[in-house]
Amino acid sequence: MALVTPRPAIQPLVRYTSQVKGKREGQVIRLSVNEGALGPSPLATAALDRIKPGLHRYPPIDLDHLTDAIAAHHGIPDARRIIVGCGSDELLATLCQAYVDPGDEVIVTQYAFVLFTHLTLMSGGVPVKADDQGYTASVDNILASVSARTKMVFLANPNNPTGTYLSRAEVQRLRDGLPETVLLVLDAAYAEYVERNDYSAGAAMVDAFENVVMLRTYSKFYGMAGLRLGWAYCPEDIANTLASVKPPYGVNLGAVEAGIATLEDHDFHALSLRHNVDMIAWFGAQMTALGLTVEPTVANFVMLRFPATAGRDAAAARVFLDQRNILVRALADYGLPEHVRISMGTTEEMQTTVAAIREFMQSTVAADG
Ligand SMILES: *Cc1c(COP(=O)(O)O)cnc(C)c1O
């Protein structure tokens, strides 16, 4: 037993391991973490070139030029209530540190993003799972899980890994059914990809209520996962709380400048969106033709269901693809052992992936006779 023991609350947490270990970065087709398909915007990389001479300086403490740009781009009325972080991961962690006391309950959905549970446990909080209906979050089940100890509800909308979403009306019904003392965290990491009239990421609800926070990220649609930049739009009290507990230099200079520049690249935004719509449709059709079940998605990834037969199931598919340097996310740890999650890559990457999955389906059929 170690002499210096970690807090009991974090002992169940396992160390995050990378699938890429032992593989050379340039050789893999990485469809396992939902990064933007088309790489960064050229305006973002140009911004990184411009900051090189000032790298010995701390980034500015006052980030108004970034938060003003975010507010203008996203139609947010009050830039002062935007808090930026080192990825939305940091903001999720800060929310837990600031609001979850040991013993507090935090409601997550059945197939919630793993980090929600992880961060809740880090704070000594108690994750409470609300069953989905099919693969979609259930407002009724979330509301039925509320107790006197509930402090927070995490809702990824759209959800990762399922790719499903709740409509504006359903999120409103959720908010209205919660006690005012419970914080509703809307994690809209994939909002930019959603093309549905009844969807909203939640900014208007943040303006209307004291207990709703919306989180956004540059890691997916904006293709900046490596720079780590996310932001939270908050009611005033919560913005002040987060700002007072966060470390002052949490966002690096490259993230700040590239974060502003990338918002100006409207061609990149249009191209990224069109590419995703096309890829989701094309890839889905190819998979359906192979007899696989493609779960509906509004994001930049899709859940594929493999047959439960040994040798051609999801676990075997993941290993088969891994051996061909195509990384996808198996979902057994999410309680979805028959599914893998595949992010949309470039057209060429997806063609290679379709060919590999076809080979997998055919080779296993042949092996069985
Ligand atoms: C990818 C993802 C994020 C983004 O995290 P960053 O720290 O901003 O990279 C947040 N929430 C969900 C549900 C995600 O899938």
Kindly give the distance from the C-alpha atom of residue 91 to the centroid of ligand 1, in angstroms, as a whole number: 10
List of domains in the chain: 8-39+267-368 (3.90.1150.10), 42-262 (3.40.640.10)
> Ligand 1: does its nearest atom lie under 6 Å from the Cβ of 225?
yes
> Ligand 1: does its nearest atom lie under 6 Å from the Cβ of 157?
no
CB 276 within 8 Å of CB 342: no
> Ligand 1: does its nearest atom lie under 6 Å from the Cβ of 230?
yes
DSSP per-residue string spanning 35-51? --TT-S-HHHHHHHHHH
pLDDT at 18: 58
| Sheet with 339-343, side-by-side order of all strands | 293-294, 301-305, 339-343, 329-330
Q: Are strands 82-85 and 301-305 parallel, antiparallel or unpaired?
A: unpaired
Planar angle of CA 296, 317, 283, nearest 5 degrees: 35
- pLDDT 10s digits, 196-245: 999 999 999 999 999 999 999 999 999 999 999 999 999 999 999 999 99
Kindly give the distance from the C-alpha atom of residue 9 to the centroid of ligand 1, in angstroms, as a whole number: 23
* Crossing angle of helices 266-289 and 347-367, rounded to 10°: 10
Q: Is the pLDDT of residue 22 over 70?
A: no
> Ligand 1: does its nearest atom lie under 6 Å from the Cβ of 159?
no
Residues 6 or more apart whose CB falls under 8 angstroms from that of 93 comprise 119, 122
- Average pLDDT of the residues of the chain: 94
- Number of Cβ atoms within 10 Å of the Cβ of 286: 18
> Ligand 1: does its nearest atom lie under 6 Å from the Cβ of 189?
yes
160, 217, 298, 301: which to mutate for ligand 1, most atoms within 8 A of CB? 217
DSSP 157: S
Question: How much of the chain exceeds pLDDT 70, in percent?
Answer: 95
> Ligand 1: does its nearest atom lie under 6 Å from the Cβ of 201?
no
pLDDT at 4: 85
Q: Is the pLDDT of residue 168 over 60?
A: yes
> Ligand 1: does its nearest atom lie under 6 Å from the Cβ of 273?
no
> Ligand 1: does its nearest atom lie under 6 Å from the Cβ of 156?
yes
Backbone dihedral region for residue 124 (phi beyond 0: left; psi -120 to 50: alpha; all else: beta): left
Kindly give the distance from the C-alpha atom of residue 181 to the centroid of ligand 1, in angstroms, as a whole number: 25
- Number of Cβ atoms within 10 Å of the Cβ of 290: 14
H/E element, 142: helix 139-144
Q: Is the pLDDT of residue 38 over 70?
A: yes
- pLDDT 10s digits, 270-298: 999 999 999 999 999 999 999 999 999 99
Q: Residue 84 — φ and ψ, nearest 5°?
A: -95, 155
C-alpha–C-alpha distance, residues 39 and 35, integer Å: 8
Sign of the Cα pseudo-torsion (344, 295, 341, 152, in order): positive
pLDDT at 295: 97
Question: How much of the chain exceeds pLDDT 90, in percent?
Answer: 89
pLDDT at 1: 59
154, 185, 187: which to mutate for ligand 1, most atoms within 8 A of CB? 187
Q: Record the pTM.
A: 0.95
Kindly give the distance from the C-alpha atom of residue 5 to the centroid of ligand 1, in angstroms, as a whole number: 30
Task: Identify the residue whose C-alpha is closest to ligand 1 atom 3.
Answer: 189
Q: Is the pLDDT of residue 2 over 90?
A: no
Kindly give the distance from the C-alpha atom of residue 158 to the centroid of ligand 1, in angstroms, as a whole number: 11
pLDDT at 369: 43
Nearest CA to 160 among 351, 313, 297, 305?
Answer: 297
- pLDDT 10s digits, 109-141: 999 999 999 999 999 999 999 999 999 999 999
Q: Residue 127 — φ and ψ, nearest 5°?
A: -70, 135
pLDDT at 7: 85
C-alpha–C-alpha distance, residues 349 and 30, integer Å: 9
Task: Identify the residue whose C-alpha is closest to ligand 1 atom 6.
Answer: 87
Which whole number is the average pLDDT over 97-104? 97
Nearest CA to 93 among 110, 113, 118, 114?
Answer: 118
> Ligand 1: does its nearest atom lie under 6 Å from the Cβ of 89?
yes
> Ligand 1: does its nearest atom lie under 6 Å from the Cβ of 219?
yes
Kindly give the distance from the C-alpha atom of residue 367 to the centroid of ligand 1, in angstroms, as a whole number: 39
| The dihedral formed by the CA atoms of 233, 210, 202 and 294, expressed in degrees to the nearest 10 | 110
CB 96 within 8 Å of CB 107: no
pLDDT at 247: 87
C-alpha–C-alpha distance, residues 367 and 321, integer Å: 17
Single-letter amino acid code for the residue at 98? A
Planar angle of CA 213, 276, 283, nearest 5 degrees: 125
Kindly give the distance from the C-alpha atom of residue 101 to the centroid of ligand 1, in angstroms, as a whole number: 23
The two tokens of residue 277 are 């719509």
33, 160, 215: which to mutate for ligand 1, most atoms within 8 A of CB? 160
CB 114 within 8 Å of CB 333: yes
